[in-house]
A and B are shown apart, each in its own frame.
Chain A
Amino acid sequence: MPEPYYPWGGEFITGPPSGCVAVVLLNIDYVPPPGVAIYGKLKTENIGIEKIVANVISNPHIRYVMVCGEEIRGHRSGSSLLSLHRHGIDTQHRIIEAPGAIPYIENLSEDAIARFREQIETIDFIGVTDTTRISTEITALDARAPPPFGEPYIAIRLKPEATVTIADARALHARITIDYLGRVKRRGE
Chain B
Amino acid sequence: MVDKEVPLYAARKTAEKNVVLDPAGFFVIELYAKGIRVEYYSNVYRRKRIVSGRLEAVFTGVRADALCDTIAAHVPALLPTHYLYLGRELLRAQEAFAGKRAYVQGGC
Given A10-B30, A11-B32, A165-B74, check contact A47 B53 (CB 8 Å). yes
B12 nearest CB across to chain A (Å): 18
Q: Is the CB of B32 within 8 A of A106?
A: no
- Over the window 40-53 of chain B, the binary record of Cβ atoms lying under 8 Å from chain A Cβ atoms (1 yes, 0 no) is 11111110111111
A95 nearest CB across to chain B (Å): 11
How far is B58's CA from A107's CA once the two chains are assembled, in angstroms? 14
Residues of B within 8 A of A164 (CB): 74
Tell me the number of A-to-B contacts counted with CB atoms below 8 Å.
Answer: 89
Q: How large is the interface on A (under 10, 10 to 19, 20 to 34, 35 or more residues)?
A: 20 to 34
Q: Is the CB of A180 within 8 A of B75?
A: no
Q: Is the CB of A166 within 8 A of B74?
A: yes
Interface pairs A-B: 5 shortest CB-CB: A173-B23, A168-B77, A182-B49, A46-B52, A102-B51
- Seen from chain A, the residues whose Cβ lies within 8 Å of a Cβ on chain B are 1, 9-11, 46-47, 92, 94, 102, 104-107, 156, 158, 162, 164-168, 170, 173-174, 176-184
Subset of 23 A-B contacts with CB under 8 Å = A1-B37, A1-B60, A9-B37, A46-B51, A46-B52, A46-B53, A47-B41, A92-B46, A102-B52, A104-B44, A106-B44, A107-B55, A158-B58, A165-B76, A166-B56, A166-B74, A167-B76, A170-B42, A177-B23, A178-B22, A180-B17, A182-B48, A182-B49
